[in-house]
Amino acid sequence: MVSQLVQTDQDFVLWLDQIRLDDVPIVGGKNASLGEMIQQLTPQGINVPMGFATTAQAYRHFIASNDLATTLRSLFADLDINNVQNLQQRGETARSLILHAPFPAELEVAIRDAYRDLGHRYGVDTDVAVRSSATAEDLPDASFAGQQETYLNVHSEAEVIASCKKCFASLFTDRAISYRQTKGFDHFEVALSVCVQKMVRSDLAASGVMFSIDTETGFNNAVLITAAYGLGENVVQGTGNPDEYRVFKPTLKTGHRPILSKRLGSKALRMVYNTGGTKLVKNLPVSRAEQQRFAITEAEVLQLARWTCQIEDHYSLIRGVDSPMDIEWAKDGETGELFIVQARPETVQSQKASNVLQAYQLESPVTAPILTTGRAVGERIGAGPACVILSVADIDQFQPGEVLVTAKTDPDWEPIMKQAAAIVTNQGGRTCHAAIIARELGIPAIVGCGDATSVIRTEQPITVSCAAGEEGQVYAGQLPYRVEETPLDEIPQPRTQIMMNVGNPEIAFRLSALPSAGVGLARLEFIIANQIKVHPLALLNFDTLTDSTAKRKIARLTEQYDDKPQYFVDQLAQGIGTIGAAFYPKPVVVRLSDFKSNEYANLLGGKAFEPSEENPMIGWRGASRYYDDRYKAGFALECQALKRGRDDMGLTNIILMVPFCRTPDEGRRVLAEMAQHGLVQGENGLQVYVMCELPSNVILADEFATVFDGFSIGSNDLTQLTLGLDRDSALVAHLFDERNTAVQRLVAQVIAIAQSTGRKIGICGQAPSDYPEFARFLVEQGIDSISLNPDAVIKTTLAIAALEQANGHSQ
């Protein structure tokens, strides 16, 4: 791509639709990207507000006309960015020099004329955003995000001129100086372009940030969208916690509606226009009723996600490599239209080495108290003495190696952020300033804790752990931890497929980076117990519940739902969908719920719907519940969630599995029940497996093979029922052993029958990783797959590959 733009000395202003992406030296990264989108993507239906940009030539003309270059170079001769006072003094003096210098008359006329022309399109004294765009900015390996200033709701020629000069001065903010020095950019080779762009009236609606890659794990098939009420500065700066959405890109592009997750944020403040006083914008509190609603609709989420994919695809085509993007969006409250107001390359996950898996883990056992929790940023662990700072004016108190604890950060905090062992904030979501900078710096951060500055004291030793999923923990004390690195290109692929047992959707994206053939066991129980927490029948019968305590807790959990059962369907579908998407298009075997009656009773509202059984382990569990009149209404909700994952989200890699199915006839009854709710075996590629965990499953395996598409051996239940012992009883625990001859004969028998009937067969359990000889036995029998807990995948893969090679069975 070669721009047709020809610049002369008098080209102080250019309209955005005159600019292309390769004009970064002329108008900076931000403006070049806006021009690229207006020229190339508005014809594809993406809305971008019009405006104009002052050029690098305009900035250099301003500097030259006021003879500032020599003075500035002298000022920076002894710059020391590690000395906060030195940095602050140099920055303040540089900004003052620019702010007190007059605009050359010809430059001022050019800006005034352009703003007047913009008024012909949108109205006299139209409201505009005045944004800085440096010529070393929004590069694939250096974002420079938030280094210079932005001014919103600017009206009148005089205000535009004043804001442009303040943008020029912001080239020398403390954070911009520090960032350039750290990244190796010459302060005096960089110029400042200014964008004057029509405001989107998101103060009357909502705005936010979105990424075409998962910001924590680098999973590149998801769009992450954040949304809050009002102008977008609150989301960018981390003032409050926005709503978050994840959308799966591959099936979005095939016309499906794959919203994998929706997380309601507090959205406590709304930034709006200020109609009086000197400030142009102000924050107002958001009512509790509005906080409990999502800021945008699902249709708008999907539209934004589609635009994100279009933008990413366009920039990837231009650059010739995959180009994950960081995008700002806004909704106009007057017209209801969505707009893209900025797009830059994502510069953290896209720069990481993809062939090395790095895992942080606290040394066990962890007995230290948890001081606070929040949203985990990154997957690392950091520790050190805490430094609680409430105002940016006090950042000179910070010492390198401390953990920064504050309410929120903005770009003025960056000079000390790069020296921190970790960062903890009261406010913010996954796309706030603190989160973005922490990722770029490669340090752990926990944002949105709410109470961090009140529960943590300065000089207190703490450990910040982001290594256990989406919730990060701040522990008292400096705890030992380890870092494990695995070169993924050295992992062989054995004939026997190595799969994973995954129950927690929050870690599914991270686990998908492990070398595996998919998920051999996804348990619904984790999602139901940890995310839903409510018995399905309690939701279906909410109005008649007599347990007032449970009813109150359920009401709080389902506050957003007038239709209480829909809460169960939504949460379960999102959990299943996230796991299915993480490993797509590899198979993900989802086992239908297999709580025992006592475990169901422990869910909120569950006691009213569950019997008291002497031995729940061999009682009313698994298949026997699904078609029973006492529970099948609850199973219907499960089916609705599974159907949404496969049909609405397009995740046809999801395979269903029926647990504890005692007879082939019972299997047929379950399939019939599923079909009533739209899950018809064979339709849309739906496969249904059965757990092989009862002796009857082995003895009648040839008959079960006529009902189901495959088997998965549940070695725990098969062992206890073969040996006639309760695996939970300490009295007979010493007899529990999957390597027992009786168990191994049953396993060998069912593998042989599955092979003879053309059915897939795998095993899900810990035994193959605990006992190398058991793994060897399974491989020798020709089992199709072995599904393991994630921590055993690499070790067992290596062992099985070596075993197959020794036996002459390697690929």
Which residues are known to be catalytic? Answer: 433, 764
Q: How far apart are CA 803 and CA 809, in angstroms?
A: 8
> In Å, how far are 33, 44, 50, 192 from 38, measured between CA atoms?
9, 10, 8, 21
CB-based contacts of 746, cutoff 8 Å, min separation 6: 695, 698, 718, 722
Q: How far apart are CA 518 and CA 133, in angstroms?
A: 44
Bridge partners of 663? none
Quick one: three-class SS letters along 482-543? Answer: EEEEEEHHHCCCCCCEEEEEECCHHHHHHHCCCCCCCEEEEEHHHHHHHHHCECHHHHHCHH
Closest residue by Cα to residue 772 from 749, 803, 745: 803
Q: What share of the chain is helix, strand, coil (3-state, %, to 5)?
A: 45, 20, 35
CB-based contacts of 472, cutoff 8 Å, min separation 6: 373, 374, 375, 376, 377, 444, 445, 446, 464, 465, 466
Helix (H) or strand (E) holding 131: strand 128-134
Q: Is 808 helix (H, G, I), strand (E, B) or coil?
A: coil
> In Å, how far are 271, 291, 295, 408 from 288, measured between CA atoms?
16, 5, 13, 22
How many CA atoms lie within 13 Å of 492's alpha carbon, on the beta-carbon side? 16
Helix (H) or strand (E) holding 718: helix 715-723
Q: How far apart are CA 580 and CA 443, in angstroms?
A: 29
Q: What stretches of 297-385 show up as alpha helix (H) in DSSP? A: 298-319
Q: How far apart are CA 174 and CA 340, in angstroms?
A: 29
Q: What angle do CA 165, 167, 172 make, to 5 degrees?
A: 105
Q: Is 179 helix (H, G, I), strand (E, B) or coil?
A: helix
| Token pair 């969908």 in the structure block, residue | 577
How many CA atoms lie within 13 Å of 402's alpha carbon, on the beta-carbon side? 20
Q: How far apart are CA 177 and CA 76, in angstroms?
A: 10
Eight-state DSSP code of residue 655: E
> In Å, how far are 253, 428, 590, 672, 682 from 576, measured between CA atoms?
20, 27, 8, 22, 20
Q: Is 371 helix (H, G, I), strand (E, B) or coil?
A: strand
* Tokens of residue 778, six digits: 């399974």
**CA trace torsion 389, 394, 400, 406 (10° rounding):** 20
Q: Which amino acid is at 401?
A: G
* Tokens of residue 708, six digits: 């189901």
Q: How many residues does the chain have?
A: 811
The bridge status of strand 588-591 relative to strand 461-465 is unpaired
* Tokens of residue 616, six digits: 């729940």
Eight-state DSSP code of residue 102: P
Bridge partners of 481? 362
Closest residue by Cα to residue 57 from 193, 196, 148: 193
Q: Are 407 and 489 in contact (CB under 8 A)?
A: no
